Chains A and B, each alone.
Chain A
Amino acid sequence: MSQLIRTTITLPADLYEKLRVASFYQRKPISQLIHEGVKKILSQKKNKVIMMTLKDIEGKYRITGKKGEFNRFQFYDKLIRKKVSD
């Protein structure tokens, strides 16, 4: 088992009350419920990263003409002109 860290968290009163009730009915300490919730969220994020790869964005868009290309000179000059005129 990895090292345990004691920390302080702040929760809205109503959420804490729900957590306390869940702790009672599930017969699990509040810290364990928080532990399980955090692990669940982190694994969801990890799965999401694995699901999406660079291949998913390859040729994702079909933008024809100059709008579909990037020319730094034109891009920034348009922005600068706008800033100057504002």
Chain B
Amino acid sequence: MINLSEKRCLIDTNILVAYINQSHPLHLNAKKLFQRILKKEFKPVLSSQNLLELTAVLVEAFKISKQKAVKDVELFANDPLFEIIYPNQNVLNNFFSLMEKGISLHTVDAFLLATAIKNRIEIIITTDKKWKKINEIKTVLLT
């Protein structure tokens, strides 16, 4: 069991989707996780990639207008509880190096991992079991 206390944890896009969608099978667990965030039990981090993906889900899958989708996503982006991290040249180099090593993640996951590593994130919270196979970051699975 990983102790999250005071740790900076990257919240994956699938968690954000589970939180906003009450029909999601993991909605209640995502809600509990956000209660822990509100109690400041750990330090939640979002990557610009997560915010981009959430916007795309709202627009393309949920069929919400772009204007409304942005308003929802801004709630995460502007909430002082969340730290937002961004890719830079170092992230790109780290992404290339992960790809050269043949990392067993989807290409886009590898970019998220590179962003996390270069921003010194130790833990990712996700619903995706594939992250458990990765040694570069600790994974907390929301199941």
Which A residues fall within an 8 A CB radius of B? 49, 52-54, 56-64, 67-73, 75-76
Q: How far is the CB of A72 from chain B (nearest CB, A)?
A: 6
A44 to B100, CA, bound (A): 50
Show 7 A/B contacts (Cβ-Cβ < 8 Å), sorted by A.
Answer: A52-B75, A54-B34, A57-B19, A58-B19, A63-B61, A68-B17, A76-B107
**Choice from B62, B71, B76 contacting A63 with Cβ under 8 Å:** B62
Q: How far is the CB of A28 from chain B (nearest CB, A)?
A: 34
Cα distance, A8 to B33, chains bound together (Å): 49
Q: How large is the interface on B (under 10, 10 to 19, 20 to 34, 35 or more residues)?
A: 20 to 34
Among B13, B14, B72, B79, which residue has its beta carbon within 8 angstroms of that of A60? B72
Report whether A53 and B75 are in contact in the complex, using a CB–CB cutoff of 8 Å.
Answer: yes
In the complex, which residues of chain B have a beta carbon less than 8 angstroms from the beta carbon of A52?
71, 75
Residue contact A61 to B22, C-beta cutoff 8 Å: yes
The CA of A73 and the CA of B14, in the complex, are separated in Å by 12
Q: Which residue of the partner chain A has the closest CB to B14?
A: A70
* Consensus secondary structure, chain B interface: helix
Q: Is there an interface contact between A72 and B128, defined as CB atoms closer than 8 Å? A: yes
Are B31 and A59 in contact, with the CB atoms below 8 A? yes
Q: Which residues of B contact A70 (CB under 8 A)?
A: 13-14, 16-17, 53, 57
Cβ–Cβ < 8 Å partners of A60 in chain B = 20, 22, 72
Asked if A69 and B76 make an inter-chain contact with CB atoms under 8 angstroms apart, the answer reads no
The listed residue (B13, B20, B34) touching A61 by CB distance below 8 A is: B20
